Amino acid sequence: MEYLPDILLMEKIGRYVNRLKRLYCFKAVDEKIPISELYRISTLLIRYTQHILLDPVSNPDELAMKNGWHAMLQNGKHNIIDIFNYSNRAVCGFQAFCKSFEGSDSIFFSERMMRIIAREHLEAWCMIATLQKRNVEYYKNIWVYEYYDIIKHEQVVALKEINDLCIQWTDTLQRVYIDVYDKLFDNRKYQLKDKYIYKNHCISDGTSRPWLSTTICKYESDSFSIAYDSYCPEDFDVKNPPVSIRHTLFFEEFLARKTPLYDGLHCLLYKGVCDALGFKAEGLTRDYRRLSLL
């Protein structure tokens, strides 16, 4: 986590922040939330979960959560308590709990909670703490779009919006990959090479929503690059043909998840290691789905 740039941390916590907004009204300026406030409220949310689990409660909603959570914990599993699944029950109690800590700088929770709360909470809290440690002042949503709304547009319009998103994504991803790789490794053994260009297509069979297909051409090169090219693969130089041409549906999955930089970086690092060791990169599993970029 310490090697990830700020933009990846903010991208990754985006879903968590949106879910947290259902429980707490942040004092945002131009939709920017102070990292200090985000850290405080995310800490309080873990502390509130601990309060429900371990302290006597009489509120009917909190009592229902307490009984349900204790039943879940009896099976011996770890990191399974997700208060967001009970947002309607928790919203009033959590807001009152936050008010009880106004003016207090001492907010702690038991180390035991690290084994109890859902991984999303723990991961987001650590990332927010990292941003605060770096003295980042504000959180801002990295991706302001809804993929499944875009894909419903007329195909020419949808494709232009998707291409714009992909260009922004892959241009940033290329820079992030080189930056993070240099922090992780002291040689070029595991660094990807070759030049990749891609082109998107909106496809529809007329019976369901359109979906995104992407054509990727690979060219030999001593350095790694990935870029959009509207002529891929129809108009390549016959004297320098691509090493391979493949078609994938995974770009849609990257965009729909709204963590394309975070997921894309992991896929590139993983593929680089596999290529260097002579293994076939099978893709990475995210939320029970396999992702592969190149």
Q: What is the pLDDT of residue 235?
A: 57
What's the pLDDT band for 272 if we cut at 50, 70, 90?
very high
pLDDT at residue 237, rounded to an integer: 60
With a pLDDT cut of 90, the percent of the chain lying above it is: 45
Q: What residues have CB less than 8 Å from 158, skipping those under 6 apart?
A: 150, 151, 152, 202, 210
The closest of 80, 95, 92, 105 to 26, measured between CA atoms, is 95
Q: What pLDDT does 75 receive?
A: 79
Q: Mean pLDDT score of the chain, rounded to an integer?
A: 88
Residue 135: per-residue pLDDT: 96
pTM, two decimals, is 0.89
Give residue 44's pLDDT: 93
pLDDT in tens, 169-219: 999 999 999 999 999 999 999 999 899 999 998 887 766 778 888 999 999
Q: Confidence class of residue 234 from pLDDT cuts 50, 70 and 90?
A: low
- Better-predicted residue by pLDDT, 35 or 28: 35
Residue 158 has pLDDT above 60, yes or no: yes
Q: Is the pLDDT of residue 28 over 80?
A: no
Of 62-76, 125-139, 278-292, where does mean pLDDT reach its minimum? 278-292
Place 29 in a pLDDT band, splitting at 50, 70 and 90. low
Model pLDDT for residues 108-153, shown as the tens digit of each residue = 888 888 888 998 999 999 999 999 999 999 998 999 999 999 988 8
Task: Please tell me the least confidently modeled range out of 42-51, 207-216, 280-289.
Answer: 280-289
Residue 22's pLDDT band (cuts 50, 70, 90): confident
What local confidence, expressed as pLDDT, does residue 57 receive?
87
Instruction: Give the pLDDT confidence score for residue 30 in this predicted structure.
Output: 58
